[in-house]
Amino acid sequence: MERKIELIDTHCHLNHSLLASDLDGILSRSRKAGVTDFVIPGYSYDSWQEILSLCREKSYLHPALGLHPLFPCKLDALEVLRSLCENENVVAVGEIGLDFQSGHRDVQKQQELFRGSLILQRSCTCRSCSM
């Protein structure tokens, strides 16, 4: 008996507007190829609600919310992120990081957000983070 390989795509921006017109087809073809689940990283405060909404539609889509340094965020972003991790089916904190090459972001602000994201990850009550 041939064993079917099951895969999880741990980083796919299925919320991108270029995929919207064929998202169901993309998901269908991917699942037929053995991809059982998809983790959609939220890179900006403004993307979180769209990602959460998309993930509520299909049980095999999972949000990972974070603050990428290239995208501006609101002052309360880390508190909002903490609340979402506690109250939604968020599986991880991410996409996060530091970017010292872009030149248009405040390095100190990046470091504060990164540090805050790491602390949040450590205390996260996300389903998968708690494992």
Q: Cα–Cα distance between 126 and 114 in angstroms, integer?
A: 18
For 64, which DSSP code?
E
Q: Is the pLDDT of residue 122 over 80?
A: no
Backbone angles phi and psi of 65, in degrees to 5: -105, 140
pTM confidence score: 0.84
Q: Output the average pLDDT for the chain.
A: 87
Q: Cα–Cα distance between 75 and 67 in angstroms, integer?
A: 12
Q: Please state the domain extents for the chain.
A: 7-123
Q: Which residue has the higher pLDDT, 32 or 122?
A: 32
Q: Cα–Cα distance between 59 and 105 in angstroms, integer?
A: 36
- Residue 106 confidence class, pLDDT cut points 50, 70, 90: confident
- pLDDT tens digit string along 29-80? 999 999 999 999 998 899 999 999 999 999 999 999 998 887 877 778 899 9
CATH 3.20.20.140 given to domain 7-123: yes
Q: What is the pLDDT of residue 14?
A: 96
Residue entry with tokens 């991108």: 16
- What pairing do the DSSP bridges indicate for beta strands 61-65 and 35-42? parallel
